């Protein structure tokens, strides 16, 4: 971090407890008034800020009063205790691509892990997909994760069961960088079954969250988290996804921000590939089958996938080019 105004940092830390991630109304206030002024308004006795209904303002004020009682300082100390930090827009480590979210930009990012988020995010790819994935999907995600990380690309995902976990494990196995964007605090291992994986990412990679330490996920927070994954990376690869899937939300969010959208095809009989196939039928979506193909799309000029050799030609049996009816008559011999 840099010499960022510490009063502003405290106010932004407080806002991560006061408002939900991606709240565009509060984001607009931040842009217009600044973080300290917004928190002062929420904890004072003045009139509501522009655009807030009486009910909405009342709810925010209740949460602001709870957050005001020493909570920002405690949250900052809590994240430091686990080797983390709280980044704000304007910090040297802040990834500028998050600014593409406009008023839905995070108030700040809680980070756990030693590497520079800004540096890692410069060459990063999201690998996302179904939680209830097939063995095929898990294999593809792991191979993609390993191939990307092994070539110096940061693999970004959400730490969930299924494709997310496979991509993270592949990156770790490949000895390269991986970052996990959580829908809870960076000190909360969720889902519980991925506790060991998330702890390892915190030790070897980066854990990121919009929510303060100790906060737990909700259904809406998983959806809101996806926009950060999309904004942070150069492109999003969907490995497996049903027709209604959070992974497709991530991909379409990426497309709206001008990022590349990619998908790996699967069996046409699999419902878990139906969403990917539908995505690939849309404009500006690309089929990829391995890490070099992904890098060719998202990478710098000259990072091309290697030329592929054609599969060996199969020996054709005599008469294979003749119509089936002719071959059957020849096999039966002359008519009696």
Query: Do 160 and 180 touch, CB atoms closer than 8 A?
Result: no
Binning pLDDT at 50, 70 and 90, where does residue 304 land? low
Q: Which two tokens stand for residue 131?
A: 């939680």
Query: CA-to-CA distance for 296 and 125, rounded, in angstroms?
Result: 12
Enumerate the β-bridge partners of residue 127: 237
Q: What is the pTM of this model?
A: 0.88
Cα–Cα nearest to 123, from 158, 104, 95: 95
Q: Which fold has domain 113-298?
A: Rossmann fold (3.40.50)
pLDDT, tens digit, 9 for 90 and up, residues 43-95:
988 889 999 999 999 999 999 988 877 689 999 999 999 999 999 999 999 99
User: Which residue ranges make up each domain of the chain?
Assistant: 6-83, 113-298
Cβ neighbour number for residue 325 with a 10 Å cutoff:
8
pLDDT, tens digit, 9 for 90 and up, residues 82-139:
999 999 999 999 999 999 999 999 999 999 999 999 999 999 999 999 999 999 999 9
pLDDT, tens digit, 9 for 90 and up, residues 12-46:
999 999 999 999 999 999 999 999 999 999 998 88
């Amino acid at each position: 971090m840099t010499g960022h105004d510490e009063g502003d940092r405290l106010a932004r830390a407080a806002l991560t407890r006061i408002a939900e991630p991606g709240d565009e109304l509060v984001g607009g206030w931040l842009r217009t008034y600044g973080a300290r002024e917004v928190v002062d308004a929420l904890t004072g006795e003045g009139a509501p800020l522009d655009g807030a209904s009486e009910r909405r303002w009342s709810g925010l004020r209740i949460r602001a009063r709870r957050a005001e009682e020493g909570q920002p300082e405690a949250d900052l100390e809590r994240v430091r205790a686990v080797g983390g930090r709280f980044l704000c827009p304007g910090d040297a480590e802040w990834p500028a691509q998050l600014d593409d979210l406009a008023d839905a930009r995070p108030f700040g990012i809680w980070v756990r892990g030693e590497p520079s988020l800004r540096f890692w995010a410069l060459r990063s790819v999201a690998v996302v997909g179904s939680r209830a994935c097939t063995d095929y999907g898990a294999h593809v995600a792991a191979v993609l994760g390993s191939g990307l990380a092994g070539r110096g690309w940061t693999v970004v995902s959400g730490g969930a069961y299924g494709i997310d976990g496979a991509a993270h494990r592949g990156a770790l196995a490949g000895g390269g960088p991986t970052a996990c964007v959580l829908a809870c605090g960076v000190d909360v291992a969720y889902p519980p079954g991925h506790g060991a994986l998330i702890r390892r990412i915190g030790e070897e990679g980066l854990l990121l969250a919009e929510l303060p330490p100790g906060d737990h996920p909700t259904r809406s927070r998983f959806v809101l988290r996806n926009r950060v994954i999309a904004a942070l990376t150069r492109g999003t690869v969907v490995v497996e996804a049903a027709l209604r899937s959070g992974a497709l939300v991530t991909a379409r969010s990426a497309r709206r921000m001008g990022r590349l959208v990619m998908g790996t095809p699967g069996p046409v009989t699999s419902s878990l590939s139906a969403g990917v196939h539908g995505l690939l039928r849309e404009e500006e979506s690309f089929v990829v089958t391995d890490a070099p193909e992904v890098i060719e799309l998202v990478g710098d000029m000259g990072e091309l996938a290697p030329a592929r050799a054609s599969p060996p030609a199969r020996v054709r049996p005599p008469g294979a080019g003749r119509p089936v009816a002719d071959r059957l008559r020849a096999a039966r011999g002359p008519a009696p």
